[in-house]
Structure 1
């Protein structure tokens, strides 16, 4: 799933409108809500990793296990 910039923008605007209705500033509340919006935005993205990461395997030909042996490069969409 692609990152939804519009939803993040709407969430920030809603938070700002909510903060304007408060009679006293609450910076901790604002920071917590904003951090939650950003966290949800980033976690909504899909990470695609390039094919071809080298692996090392062990086990019989029909039951192998393995792990990557180098770092892969990914992109968030």
Structure 2
């Protein structure tokens, strides 16, 4: 039995679209995080909300950067 070649679960044609979409969503979440930090007082801040928002922004920006590298031909 011959081994199967490794293929991406996402079609290569979707890489640029996913990169732009995920980076845009990540930047919007990052902006909302900064707005939340700038407009709320220290007494009213919620650590769980900060960690959740930061985590989502990090995930979207990370995958967006990955797809940007893949779309430009840098296979990581």
TM-score, normalised by the number of residues in structure 1 = 0.42
Q: Which protein has greater RCO, CA pairs closer than 8 Å, 6+ apart?
A: 2
Task: Give the structure with the larger strand fraction.
Answer: 1
Task: Give the structure with the larger helix fraction.
Answer: 2
Larger Rg: 1
